């Protein structure tokens, strides 16, 4: 399990969503009703306001792309996958195979 530094819960029509950040700046999330929440750390009601607003709006049907975010550090293919994810149109679905092909 990843160590969480800060978190906030985002209420929305689909249920509460936890947005969290690890010590390296990695962003994590999970739904309360699913039971797989990033755990630990300190609550920060002002954590990542742009991303939190986007999560709320998306749960209400918004189809805008997410706000810009820093791609987490990792191996070259990992970074390529994140870059490929950023160009997937909102509302579209890709299989892992399609994502891998898009990442090269």
pLDDT in tens, 32-86: 776 666 778 999 999 999 999 988 888 888 877 788 777 777 789 988 998 898 8
Same domain for 49 and 28, yes or no, is yes
* Structural domain that includes position 38: 6-59
Q: What is the pLDDT of residue 1?
A: 67
| Residue the block writes with tokens 């797989």 | 36
In a domain, 103, yes or no: yes
CA distance 51 to 48: 5
Same domain for 80 and 54, yes or no, is no
User: Does position 8 have pLDDT exceeding 90, yes or no?
Assistant: yes
CB 52 within 8 A of CB 6: no
In a domain, 33, yes or no: yes
Q: What is the pLDDT of residue 11?
A: 87
Q: What is the pLDDT of residue 44?
A: 96
Same domain for 85 and 49, yes or no, is no
Query: Domain tally for the chain?
Result: 2
Contacts of 60 (CB under 8 A, 6+ apart): 12, 13
Higher pLDDT, 39 or 102: 102
CB 53 within 8 A of CB 27: no
Same domain for 46 and 82, yes or no, is no
In a domain, 14, yes or no: yes
Same domain for 10 and 38, yes or no, is yes
Same domain for 10 and 53, yes or no, is yes
Same domain for 54 and 33, yes or no, is yes
- Indicate yes or no: pTM above 0.75: no
């Amino acid at each position: 399990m990843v160590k969480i530094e800060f978190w906030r819960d985002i209420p929305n029509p689909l249920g509460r969503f936890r947005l969290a950040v690890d010590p390296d700046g990695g962003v994590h999330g999970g739904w309360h009703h699913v039971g797989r929440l990033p755990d630990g750390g300190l609550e920060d009601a002002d954590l990542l306001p742009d991303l939190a607003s986007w999560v709320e709006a998306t749960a209400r049907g918004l189809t805008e792309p997410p706000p810009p975010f820093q791609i987490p550090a990792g191996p070259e293919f990992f970074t390529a996958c994140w870059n490929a994810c950023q160009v997937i149109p909102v509302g579209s679905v890709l299989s892992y195979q399609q994502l891998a092909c898009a990442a090269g």
